[in-house]
Amino acid sequence: MAVHNELGKRGEEIAREYLEQAGYRILNVNWKYARAEVDVIAEQEGKLIFVEVKTRTSTDYGHPEEFVDRKKEKQLEFASAAYIEMKNHQGEVRFDIIAIVFENKDLYKINHIEDAFWPS
């Protein structure tokens, strides 16, 4: 597996653990619909939360959350609409970003951005 893929997988594991410790219930991980994928789908107090996880080893080229562009937002919107319909979810929905920056192999910082964007 390529180094960037391993980093991404590690970031997703950290994000899941972080969300669980914060009281979220993890519903799905790497959920795919057509060509779109949602890294984590969680639930908290009846609210369905779609989470994009971005992991980097530095901020030399920008913070991880800056790499969630409009195209990625549209993919998440597309996949989330299918998930909501499939589950017949009638409650609130939120789109979050969890940005992780590793300072070294074992030390990292997490930035959880709730309501990071709202699909148009």
The Cα–Cα gap between 30 and 101 comes to 20
Length of the chain: 120
Report how far apart, in Å, the C-alpha atoms of 118 and of each of 22, 51, 74 are: 22, 12, 10
Q: Taking Cα atoms as reference points, which of 94, 83, 78, 82 lies closest to residue 44? A: 94
* Amino acid sitting at position 115: D
**Which secondary structure element, helix H or strand E, spans residue 95, and what is its range?**
strand 93-102
The Cα–Cα gap between 78 and 23 comes to 27
pTM for the full model?
A: 0.93
- 3-state SS, residue 77: helix
pLDDT tens, residue by residue, 17-62: 999 999 999 999 999 999 999 999 999 999 999 999 999 999 999 9
Q: What is the dihedral of CA 72, 73, 75, 77, to 10 degrees?
A: 170
pLDDT tens, residue by residue, 57-93: 999 999 999 999 999 999 999 999 999 999 999 999 9
Topology of domain 3-113, CATH: Trna Endonuclease; Chain: A, domain 1 (3.40.1350)
* Model pLDDT, residue 102: 94
